[in-house]
Structure 1
Amino acid sequence: MRPPALPFAVHVSRRAEFGHRWARARSALLIAFVVAPLAVLGATAAAVAAASGEGPAGTGSSVVALALVLPSAGYLLWFRASGRFLVRTRYWAVRVVSCGLVQLLGTLPLAVVAGGVAGVLCPAVTAFAVLAGTVAAARAHRTLLAAAGGAPAATNLPLERDLRIHPPRLYGTATIGADRLGWSLKPRGRYGFPGALVAGTVPFGEITGVRVEQVNEHDAPLVAPGVPAPPGPVVVVSTRRGDAVVAVKEAAEFAALLDLRLRLTAEPGWA
């Protein structure tokens, strides 16, 4: 059977592999970001109907439930339908479980007011959907983006890793994009939001080499003003303008992924 069409570019050397990966991950993504939120919406609608005859308590609990369930379920549906999951390639399971907890928070008071079969089934269905969606999202991510053999480097999917930054108030990431390497350092808690204290970008065309070096606390290079790289392995990216130090976690794996993507990007055979 012919593998399904891919929603992202893959080098010819890995096209067959990612055809099979996507075939497996697609079903799990459907469960996590479509089936699970739709199940929660259906259970919530049934509970709202059951609570409609309970007077002000039913109306109030229905409004609260809908205010919490509709946006969170809608976000998950949008995340999959818009293809945003191909841009934000981390924390798929975290998104599902976070939205699921919001949905549970909204449906529990409604279930108490609704009572009866609807009052029992609504939170039960919601909890099961959240659990199934979380497991499916984790499985989809592991299936599609497992780094064994450097496979993700043969795609144009962004590969993001955390930086090793010691000040607990700071949070940093490094991302191997489709045609450039980027990194940023920002206050903790602002993942996904604009506004970095320090940010850098190097187009692939300017990179002349990638290597891993060990640094110690006495001569550690700065990764930001006043923020030295923590002791340990770092990725050193040589460019025409000098070296850039990226103190990324799992430095050896990150360097291998970057080096492979650099080599494959320079070759034909992308589709």
Structure 2
Amino acid sequence: MTNATEQRHRPRGSLPDYLTVSVVIPVKNDAVALTRCLAALADQTRTPNETIVVDNGSSDASAEVARRAGARVVECVRPGIPAASALGYDAATGAVILRLDADCVPDPTWVEMVVASFTRHPDVAAFTGGARFVDGPRMLRRPLAAAYLLAYTLATAPALGHLPLFGSNVALRRDAWNDVRSSVHRHDASLHDDFDLAYHLGEHHRIRLLPTAAMGMSMRPFTSASGFATRIGRGFRTVTVHWPHDFPPLRWRRVVWNRLRRDRARSDARLAR
């Protein structure tokens, strides 16, 4: 019988090829937080096959921290999270790509839970998870995180016609990324990369919520009024850059039509067995 220690540090080669996992972390000048993030990834119950840290022009020790932890460092010379995230996805070799931020702290079962969910739901192209704050007033951490994610969903879902992706806790199949990699706005640093990815992925692929895949994240982006205003501005920019093609009524019709076609194809496949 496998003991708990052996299970927690399962050799990387034990994963079947179709379940290989790449973790992508964009970073810029966040060495301290990255150290904590990588330590949490090393303590996963299911070890990722590779961890890719995309260094977006750091002047601190972020790249060295990543290398010491055994991560593969990819240099991104183009500024902005959209460029860094996309480059990380391009570099990933796993069948499943997990994305989080450098200031995130995944729960120990994060990787295992996401991979198990992809196994159970072969029709799902991407999962988006929940979050909790790991700093700030202790009593407010979970309710504020829940309120933030609810507000984000309510603000973005009407534009998309489906669930958005939450960039601090995203998992997607690499073949789904390959379908959209040439259409995402990777060179526009003024928009939200996760929101943009949801536009391109969600029209033809299924996105599903996985609230039990817990993720700790820092409250620091929300402690500055100017920083929060910048986030709002990027949200509007992400919406308008997709118009007129993705003007909501037009997009909703395509999303519904594509969903019906997928459901019909799955039904026909089951009947043909």
Quickly name the TM-score band, shorter chain normalised.
under 0.3
Give the structure-1-normalised TM-score.
Answer: 0.26
Greater share of helix = 1
TM-score by length of 2: 0.26
